[in-house]
């Protein structure tokens, strides 16, 4: 699998959101069964802000909320190539719920087609050793407003 890496610096929440929106507009053109994006970074590094922009880039008008407490939220997409955006957050995943949450996600990814999955805190799950992501994005806090986003594209 070929990899390419790109780095982008943003200087505000709005900038981080805009990067998400731009990426969504590019992914809209993709013709894949599913598209998987993993977001890594510390608390407050901009992962959910990025997802909000990404959803807007796909035309989602609904308010995007962090799925930290419910683990997963689904948003319908109006796109010829993708039906749903699944926003998943494993931050609060504990050992007790881990097997169930991972099994549910694995079933959805394997059985449902034409979906985009964006996963925050993927390092808390072992399923990404079995399923390779299309993109991994690392979020790094440079200063209170500045973020370094490192994109790893798997082609």
Nearest-angstrom CA–CA distance, 86 and 43: 20
pTM above 0.75, yes or no: yes
Q: What is the pLDDT of residue 105?
A: 79
C-alpha 48/C-alpha 58 separation (Å) is 15
CA atoms within 13 A on the CB side of 89: 18
Please compute the mean of the pLDDT values over residues 28-55 and round it to a whole number.
Answer: 95
pLDDT band at 59 (very low <50, low <70, confident <90, very high): very high
Confidence of residue 91 (pLDDT cuts 50, 70, 90): confident
pLDDT of residue 78: 85
Place of tokens 């799925």: 67
Return the percentage of the chain with pLDDT > 90, whole number: 63
* Torsion-angle region of 46 (φ positive above 0: left; ψ -120 to 50: alpha; else: beta): left
Phi and psi (nearest 5°) for 42? -65, 165
Q: What is the mean pLDDT of the segment spanning 35-43? A: 96
């Amino acid at each position: 699998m070929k990899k390419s890496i790109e780095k982008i610096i943003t200087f505000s929440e709005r900038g981080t959101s805009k990067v998400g929106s731009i990426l969504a507009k590019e992914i809209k053109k993709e013709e894949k069964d599913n598209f998987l994006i993993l977001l890594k970074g510390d608390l407050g590094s901009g992962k959910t802000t990025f997802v909000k922009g990404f959803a807007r880039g796909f035309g989602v008008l609904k308010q995007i909320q962090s799925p930290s407490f419910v683990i997963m939220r689904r948003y319908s997409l109006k796109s010829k190539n993708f039906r749903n955006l699944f926003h998943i957050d494993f931050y609060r995943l504990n050992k007790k719920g881990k097997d169930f949450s991972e099994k549910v996600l694995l079933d959805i990814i394997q059985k449902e087609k034409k979906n985009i999955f964006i996963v925050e805190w993927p390092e808390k799950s072992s399923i990404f050793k079995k399923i390779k992501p299309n993109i991994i994005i690392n979020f790094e806090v440079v200063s209170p407003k500045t973020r370094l986003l490192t994109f790893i594209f798997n082609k």
